[in-house]
Amino acid sequence: MKIIDNQFIKKIMFLVLTLSSLMSGRALIYAQEENNKDTYSIITSSDYAPFEFTDNEGNLVGIDIEILEAIAEEEGFAIDYKIMPFSSGLQALESNQADGMIAAMGITEEREKSFDFSDPYFEVGSMFAVKKGSNIETLEELKGKNVATKIGSQGADIAERLQDQYGYTITTFEDSVNMYQNVIAGNSQAVIEDYPVMAYAAKTGAVDLELIGEEIDKMPLGFAVNKGQNAELLEKFNNGLAKLKESGKYQTILDQYVGDQVEAMDNSFIGQFVANFPALMKGLGKTVLVTFISLIIAFILGIILGLFNTSTNVILKGISSLYIDIMRGLPLLVLAFFIYFGLPQMTGVKFTTMMAGVLTLGLNAAAYIAEIVRGGIQSIAIGQMEAGRSLGLTRRTTLRKIILPQALKIMIPSFVNQFIITLKDTSVLSVIGLVELTQTGRIIIARTYQSGSMWLIVGTIYVVIITILSKLSNRLEKELNV
pLDDT tens digits, 7-23: 544 444 444 445 444 44
d(CA 46, CA 59): 10
Residue 389 — pLDDT band, cuts 50, 70, 90? Answer: low
- On whether the CB atoms of residues 201 and 49 are closer than 8 A, the answer is yes
Q: Please tell us whether the domain made up of 34-121+223-258 is placed in CATH 3.40.190.10.
A: yes
Question: Which pLDDT does position 5 carry in this prediction?
Answer: 45
pLDDT tens digits, 262-314: 665 666 777 778 878 888 888 899 999 999 999 999 999 998 898 888 877 88
Question: Which pLDDT does position 476 carry in this prediction?
Answer: 72
Higher pLDDT, residue 440 or 236: 236
pLDDT tens digits, 85-112: 777 788 888 888 889 999 888 888 888 9
Please spell the DSSP secondary structure of 121-132, one letter per residue.
Answer: -EEEEEEEEEET
Residue 185 — pLDDT band, cuts 50, 70, 90? Answer: confident
Name the residue among 246, 177, 200, 176 with its Cα closest to residue 63.
200
Question: Which pLDDT does position 225 carry in this prediction?
Answer: 94
Q: What is the DSSP letter of 106?
A: B
Q: What are the DSSP E strand ranges found in 158-254? A: 169-173, 190-194, 209-221, 224-226
Q: What percent of the chain has pLDDT over 70?
A: 85
d(CA 224, CA 271): 37
Question: Which pLDDT does position 264 carry in this prediction?
Answer: 59
Question: Which pLDDT does position 272 carry in this prediction?
Answer: 78
Q: How far is CA 128 from CA 125, 131, 135, 176, 193, in A?
A: 10, 11, 14, 13, 7
Q: What is the dihedral of CA 306, 308, 311, 313, to 10 degrees?
A: -160
Residue 385 — pLDDT band, cuts 50, 70, 90? Answer: low
3-state secondary structure (DSSP) of residue 172: strand
> Average per-residue pLDDT in the chain?
82
Residue 226 — pLDDT band, cuts 50, 70, 90? Answer: very high
- On whether the CB atoms of residues 434 and 353 are closer than 8 A, the answer is yes
List the alpha helices (DSSP H) in 207-268.
231-247, 249-258
Checking if the pLDDT of 383 tops 80, the result is: no
With the C-alpha atoms ordered 347, 351, 357, 361, is the resulting torsion angle positive or negative? negative
Residue 36 — pLDDT band, cuts 50, 70, 90? Answer: low
Kind of pairing between the strands at 47-48 and 52-54: antiparallel
Question: Which pLDDT does position 8 carry in this prediction?
Answer: 42
3-state secondary structure 63-103: HHHHHHHHHHHHHCEEEEEEECCHHHHHHHHHCCCCCEECC
d(CA 404, CA 393): 15
Checking if the pLDDT of 446 tops 80, the result is: no
d(CA 350, CA 342): 10
- On whether the CB atoms of residues 227 and 115 are closer than 8 A, the answer is yes
Higher pLDDT, residue 235 or 448: 235
Residue 3 — pLDDT band, cuts 50, 70, 90? Answer: very low
Which residues of the chain are in CATH 3.40.190.10 domains? 34-121+223-258, 123-220
Q: Which CATH superfamily is domain 123-220 in?
A: Periplasmic binding protein-like II (3.40.190.10)
The average pLDDT across 195-208 equals 77
Which residues of the chain are in CATH 1.10.3720.10 domains? 269-479
d(CA 98, CA 89): 9
- On whether the CB atoms of residues 340 and 94 are closer than 8 A, the answer is no
d(CA 221, CA 321): 51
The average pLDDT across 110-126 equals 91
List the alpha helices (DSSP H) in 341-435.
343-347, 353-378, 382-390, 395-398, 404-425
Residue 206 — pLDDT band, cuts 50, 70, 90? Answer: low
Checking if the pLDDT of 75 tops 80, the result is: yes
Considering only the top CATH level, what class is 269-479?
Answer: mainly alpha
Checking if the pLDDT of 361 tops 60, the result is: yes
- Whether pTM exceeds 0.75: no
Checking if the pLDDT of 447 tops 80, the result is: no
Kind of pairing between the strands at 38-44 and 77-83: parallel
Question: Which pLDDT does position 19 carry in this prediction?
Answer: 44
Cis peptide before 413 (omega within 30 of 0): no
Which helix or strand (DSSP H or E) is residue 9 part of? helix 6-36
The average pLDDT across 223-245 equals 94
| Residue environment code for 134-170, b if the CB has 16+ CB neighbours within 10 A, otherwise e | bebeebebbeebbbbbbeebbbbebbeebeeebebee
**Lowest-confidence pick of 59-73, 156-170, 379-393, 408-422:** 379-393
Question: Which pLDDT does position 260 carry in this prediction?
Answer: 62
Total Cβ atoms within 10 A of residue 106? 16
- On whether the CB atoms of residues 331 and 374 are closer than 8 A, the answer is no
